Structure 1
Amino acid sequence: STICFCIQYYSVYCIVYRVISYLCSPDFSPSMLVLSPDAKGGRLCVGLPTQPRKNKTPGQENQQMPRNRTGINWNLPWNNNLDFAFGTWNTLSLNRPGSCQTLVNEINKYKVMIVALQEIRWKETGSLRVEQGYILHGDCGDTHNLGTGFYVHQSLFNSVKDFKPINNRMSVLTVEAKWFDVTFINVHAPTEDKDDDTKETFYSELERIYNTIPRRNIKIVLGDMNAQLGKETAFRSVIGAESLHDRSNDNGTRLINFTMENGLIISSTRFQHKNIHKGTWVSPDGRTVNQIDHIAIERRFANSIKDVRSFRGADCDSDHFLVMARMNLRMKKVKKPEGHYFKYCLHSLKNNEVCTNFVKEIESHIRREPTLEVQINVDENWKNCKESVQTATKKTLKKRKKKDKVWFDIECKRMVKKRKEIRLQWLAERDNDEMRQRYFNERKNTQAFLRQTKRQHYNKLVEDAEENHKQHNSREMFQNIRKATQPYKKKERFVKDTEGNMLTNDEAISKRWAEYFSQLLSAEDPANTLDFEFPATVDADVPLPSIEEIQATINKLKNNKACGEDLIYAELIKKGGAELVTRLKHLIDHIWEQEKMPEDWKTAIITPIHKKNDPLNCDNYRGIALLDIAYKIVSLIILKRILPLAEDTVGEYQCGFRTGRSTVDQIFCLGQIMEKSREFNSPLHMLFVDFRKAYDSIHRNTLLNILQEFQFPSKIVRLISMCISETYAKVQTPAGLSEKFKINTGLRQGDPMSPVLFNLVLEKIDREFQKKIMDEGICR
């Protein structure tokens, strides 16, 4: 009742607007006003007397506009932005070289916002980022058979509320519009020669899916129906008189029955067009053209469809044509989440001129006399340094551009364009066998050329890897090897919740990732505490780091490493100049004296890395924590002071994370012991201990007590406590950064001190274990 009231209210509003427009017209006279009852709806229509219809010249705007059977004038000024284009396309296969790129280029050319795709033939369910949009697809199995999905333009992607792949013949997409949610049901029906059981199963599943959609949504069923619809007057309530065929086949009758039972209108048969714009499939010999791809919409919204037709000019090497509809629909504007990383061309700092300008920009900001609050407050002091580097980076360095698909070059595009031109000539002369043979030869040559170009690209990667190996350029060598050998892994945007339901909303995705890592990184307090023997407090003098030590620490930072939330890379600090180092020296001195570090340094950015199995399951990811580079400088300075004490404390048995040693040595020794045990027939007992979430389960207060027991200077203990206390994290996802959450336990991943501190905890555990053995009278 609410929806009916809104529609009636809107109709009255439009009538009033038209009356006022006519009354305000300078050419208005009372004789021009006509009030007449609407023949169909019984409503009053207000407007000018009907004028003789003028024939529009070809190419004139809105040539194929359908008749407007409603009292709403969709061409009013406020409705100019209601033109929403969507469609359906059977791609035949997107598992061929260059087919996906060709498809996306054609869709962008015709400016279609949403396209239902059939026969994608991709494994696993997920999403793929493509040029100006995304492809959401279902799983078609290892056989690469069938598979449906959607292309969604990037401007609408944040409006996607839900995507559900039902099976390899069906998928559902729900998009948030201005007043209603729009649900697209993408179907690929069995062909006409399939048995009745297969068809009944398909339509029963379609009926079930259709009934699960909320009634308030606009429901649109579209796809490859494999159904020929006739012009039978008995079915005129759901089909129009503009079908390409005269009689309906078996699939067509089943589709008509489905639409009649669910109150749908098949819009693809309602608009007058040439026959060449009605056909959607052409046979391999080019002699048969059928209209088997259709678009159906609920009857109450049928008048919002302005036009439906096929476009033969769109070519993705398929025997189906792109079927596109235009609809009066305003999509809801959803704010796009802000990205986290801006990748800059850091290699340009090797240029002396660029580097000099970069240093000058930093000095122009840093040399400004800081206020007393900035000098004393570590947060304000760090904010001043951070903004100086960030501003200089934006002014002097260019943002790194995203690289296109390397192997799909201009020559590939030229071959595809040539194939398309010959295809259009063949479609214009379908009875010409010579033209048909020419098209098929060109199609074969294009496909062979694309495969050859892709193969040459991978061979070039191997050759580059060999050349990098000769030049001792290991980083580029391994990058090329990885590109040439490892299969392509797309970055998954969607995830599943704890109940296995797919999440498509950006806010829900970020919340799910934050919830997962918050639970993963929050261990419970230990039930049994260790016994500690605290000796006298050691108040050894811990000197402040000198500017030379800070400069040496900065020089040891590794290049080509990810940065933290401040977006300051190690290369930027290395090339920042003497003024930046001096300001960092003042900042570190205040941190050392106050034993308090900036709040920004307490937050880590966690990047999920997929390991194996289902990419939609958060459990199949491991997190990589990214810390601010400036914090790592302080951490390395503290590490330099605790490393000698740790070496004297940890036993000789430990080879992990120690200079000049390796766990490989321990594995070799274990192998030798096993060989000697077998050689001398001596019994051997081995105990393997697997620490579950070892780094993340360290109790922080216990760690501080261990440091005091091992007689570390109290100043060092307090600095370490400063680094590991009150830490937070955010998760970097394709949907943006999640909300910040607190981490109460564990060592900080990516912190240079973490391995050494972990060894000290293991040393305490080993001593307790040995003590327990000796107390029970058991010798090693």
Structure 2
Amino acid sequence: MKYKNEKRKNDVNGIKVGKSLDASSGRGMLTTQGNLDLHPATASYRLATWNVRTLHQPGKLENILNEMRRLSIAIMGVSETRWIQAGKKVVDGATFIYSGPERKHEKGVGVILDPATSRQHGLGRRNICGDKWAGWCEANNQVVTNSYFKHHPRRLWTWRSPDDHTKNQIDYITINKRFRNSVTQAKCYPGADCDSDHSVVVATIRLRLQKLKRRVVTSKLDLTALKKCDIRTKFKDSVQQRFPDIHEFIEAEESYGKFSEVIRQVTREVIPTLPRIKKQIWMTEEILELMDARRLSGRFTDEYRNINRIIRRKCRNGKETFYQKQCQELEELEKQFLKQLVSLI
């Protein structure tokens, strides 16, 4: 569908928008240069494949892009590109994805996508600052969301000049390529008003948050204590007292269940637990006990805040005392070493 161009000169990076466009409500006649490409109910694409013999010469890729535009080809597979390694390059809005050998300029394949197919639906032409911005996004694995979807031009421009003649797209929302599928929509809303010459850019993101399970901390048993004669004898006597004659149980499963239950009970009562490993050398048993009390007191309570304040103070004091002691020991060793060194001299 073509629309009539007005004589009024506009400067929107190559997009001409007339005064009759009411951006805030979406009403009025749109005056744009060229064709207005709206979402069709059904769409067809022309695919092609071409053995280009080589792309390792100046102007060859641009030549192929011109032929794609002339023949209205959306996707073209090329072979014998003779480009080394693998990567992606954007030329005149089209995207070229290639793969080849590591060093030698031979063989190699690639796919060329036209601007509409590669989903680069920006507004107008890109200037030098736009090229730098695109390079930064490519280097940091970022995707520009509000140029990732095809929209009407009034949903693309984010800034307009005071005379309402120039409209540019200079505000963006980016997201890491890994999460680009979570963005379902991104566009600007020129109807929002706060006395600014910029429009608000809104992105809709679908999140799937993982439910974190609290890890249950269990004390480990010191099984090496069974090597001690008194603990081993106590463990044996406790099991024999609690476990009756095995012949009283007819079923083997019942006997096994009863035996396992008795073993667990006696183990918890007789065998001691291993001491907790201190992550810091200056950490004391008192601080660890306070941490357990803080965990059981419940968050967002006065008791929790008081215990947390005490823990911070004791950690700070314990750490300072430990390093002071270390420094004193180093100073004493230094003095001893100097005395020995002087005596040798």
Q: TM-score, normalised by structure 2?
A: 0.30
Name the larger-Rg structure: 2
More helix by share: 1
